[in-house]
Structure 1
Amino acid sequence: MVYAQSEVYQTMAPAHDCCCQCDDPCQYSPYVRMHGAKIFSSKNISDENDIEDPLCNDVKIKTLMIENLTKDATTSKRSIQKTLEEKFSTKFNVICALGDFSYVAYTDKYCQTSNDLVTCYAFKPL
């Protein structure tokens, strides 16, 4: 029996669409703020840890990521994930790479940090 492939429809806007080494990074986030598409985001987005940075919207996440970012992508991703999950008592996805990467994530808490070699992106899935 052969099934027809169903079409995939996006039911809400991605909360964060970015890359780590592009010429014009994170243009989606300002567009969302300018055109009122925040109706798709979490209702309780604002708290004392939120910051207006297209790469990172939580100061605590950023601080913890910087503390755990090393010159090795594998070590960094595991250390960052473990630390964030312990501090926030919830699951976090973490991506680390030595080169460029691009991503789209449904999230209301995210952060991207880098050092000379490694770029990491962590987010709390919705």
Structure 2
Amino acid sequence: MSKEKQELLFESLKGIKDTWVDFSVNSFNPQSRITWADSNEAYKLLQEKLKSEDDLNAISIIQNELVEAVIYRIMELIDGYSDLKYSVDLIDKDTKKSLREVGELHDGFMNYLYEHEGKNTK
């Protein structure tokens, strides 16, 4: 199993994170065409409160950290660091090998973000 396959997974996960954080932040704009915000009272309340670019930037930072933490915890679960009563793995269908063969997924994901988003290590 190559490190490249892990990186492709991390790239896809980062893309999901970026897309959904953007959708969510954009839904705070009252002129947004994102339909879930139209009927959700929580979004309407936040649309009234989050007006400035600084407000939207702050919520974007918080959402990014939250989504990253959720993905990190899922990767930890796959790596075996949880109270799950059985083992799970991610297998490359072509090679039938584990994506964990070249390193732990939770560390790899965070390292990928550090490299591609210019984050400092914790």
Report TM bin, short chain: under 0.3
Please report the TM-score for the alignment, with normalisation by the length of structure 1.
Answer: 0.24
Please report the TM-score for the alignment, with normalisation by the length of structure 2.
Answer: 0.24
Choose between structure 1 and 2: higher strand proportion.
1
